[in-house]
Amino acid sequence: MSEITLNEVQRAAMLLMAAIKSVTFYPQAHPAVRQPLQELAGILGDILKEQPEIHLGVVKGVFFMERHLFVNPNAAVSALVERFSQKGIDALTIYVGVTPDDLFRFALLIADRETTAEQLSAELEKNGVRTIRLGIDQLVYGGSDNEAGSARSRTYFEALGVMRDIIREIENGGIPSSDRINAVVGNMVSETMKDHTTLLGLAMIKDYDNYTFNHSVNVGILSLALAAYIGMDREGLHDTNTAGLLHDIGKTGIDKNILNKPGKLSAEEYDVIKKHPEMGAEIVDKMKDIHHRVADAVLGHHIKFNRSGYPEWAKEREFGTINEIVAVADCYDATTTLRSYSAPVSPKEAMDILRRLAGTALNDKLVMKFEEMMGRYPVGTLVRLDTNEIALVVRPHPLENKIPSVKVIIDSRGEVLAEPKMISLALTDGKRAATIVAPVDPFLKNVDISSYLLA
């Protein structure tokens, strides 16, 4: 299955919004209406040659289409988010066979400000439009019959939206309110206290177009999970999660050309980068209702376990466990993520890197606990089973780290499953459904890991 590109998604969103604007002024045959609809139908048709349906919508103010999230939307996507939100539309499913006529009727209903989501659904049915449906049958980025899956998705998008708003507020010269981050952290802590593994899969979602927000949320999730695994109380979990989310907040004050520079930084540029922990701690210190140890963790997340690192003036300060947890989580997520200056490694390879850094850059006891928590095959690892099926590790076993729960996505004949099959590799009645043979490179199998992790 070929991956839907960001350019395709952006173009589709722009064309849909152009059609919505033009249908109120021109008839369907007018070029201002006909041309965007025909091009949009062509883009969607090409995508639907590879898969039976397309999912798109808005969750917590963030537009998505399949795996692509638009945390920093352009004008067309922002306008589309506004229209969807006005209608109360969270999600849509578009099916094989969608035509320009179907899209015209949909655009006409969206353009009519009086039409509610319920009326829109009924009108589509009344006009014989079967290729566009409100809601999502299979969970991709929101909406599911599975209550736990929906709760995880909502939590993820809430955290992403909070980080987006916090960063924007700081870039506009303000000090962000702590109300929203405390609320979303409360939700994340509650979910994790039920089961420390519940959010782990979300931390392997890699949105390269929104690295800053995505990395912050991932480090927050990983930090929270590790804190829960080692038995921190609720207050400690809250502050650890907050520190993980805010650890890189100081980078808002760093020149984007330096942050996104491909290749090695000059000594002068690296000196600029090294200021971000101090800048971040100053910001967090000014936020109300955030414990001072969160600011300490932000300041010290690049102070290494052997007291090297930066800022140099803070090396002799006492930093607590939260700081060291965030350092482990930050290292793991950074090494598994594509960045402008480095290629990602697999989750299993990332664990090897953490192990090599244990006792020097990272707290060796916390690395050991992190490895126990993640399991022999960490969440996000693509594996081959002894049934010759290809599966994605989605959850570690709470007691046995060699036998996780996996989602089978390619069958024994090499066919991509329309509906992935969830199985546990633990013993059931003395038998195993399958056994892991070896890790598999997702690039060789053309598998987009992120698209399977919110389901």
Q: pLDDT above 90 covers what percent of the chain?
A: 42
pLDDT for residue 122: 84
The closest alpha carbon to 244, from 355, 165, 162, belongs to: 162
Decide: helix, strand or coil at residue 409.
strand
192 CB-near residues (< 8 Å, 6+ apart): 198, 199, 224, 225, 228, 237
DSSP string covering 29-65? TSHHHHHHHHHHHHHHHHHHTTSSEEEEEEETTEEEE
Cα dist from 357 to 109, 235, 304, 305, 321, whole Å = 57, 29, 10, 9, 17
Give the C-alpha separation, 288 to 61, whole Å: 25
Please name every residue paired with 423 in a beta bridge, in sequence order, or none if there are none: 406
Alpha-carbon torsion (288, 293, 299, 302), positive or negative: negative
pLDDT for residue 269: 94
Q: Compute the mean pLDDT over every residue in the chain, rounded to the nearest whole number.
A: 86
Q: What is the pLDDT of residues 141-161, one digit of tens each?
A: 333 334 455 567 778 888 888
Range picked from 195-209, 376-390, 398-412 for highest mean pLDDT: 376-390
Alpha-carbon torsion (233, 283, 187, 199), positive or negative: negative
The closest alpha carbon to 378, from 339, 409, 345, belongs to: 345
The mean-pLDDT minimum among 187-191, 349-353, 422-426 falls in 422-426
pLDDT interval class at 197 (50, 70, 90): confident
Decide: helix, strand or coil at residue 384.
strand
Say how many C-beta atoms besides its own lie within 10 A of residue 29's C-beta: 7
Span 306-319, average pLDDT: 92
- Name the residue with higher pLDDT: 135 or 234: 234
pLDDT for residue 56: 87
- Name the residue with higher pLDDT: 128 or 333: 333
Domains and CATH numbers, the chain: 6-134 (no CATH), 147-374 (1.10.3210.10), 382-453 (no CATH)
Half-sphere exposure of residue 67, counting CA atoms within 13 Å on the CB side?
A: 20
pLDDT for residue 217: 93
pLDDT for residue 139: 36
- Rounded to a whole number, what is the largest CA-CA distance in the chain? 73
- This model's pTM is above 0.75: no
The mean-pLDDT minimum among 93-107, 126-140, 169-183, 258-272 falls in 126-140
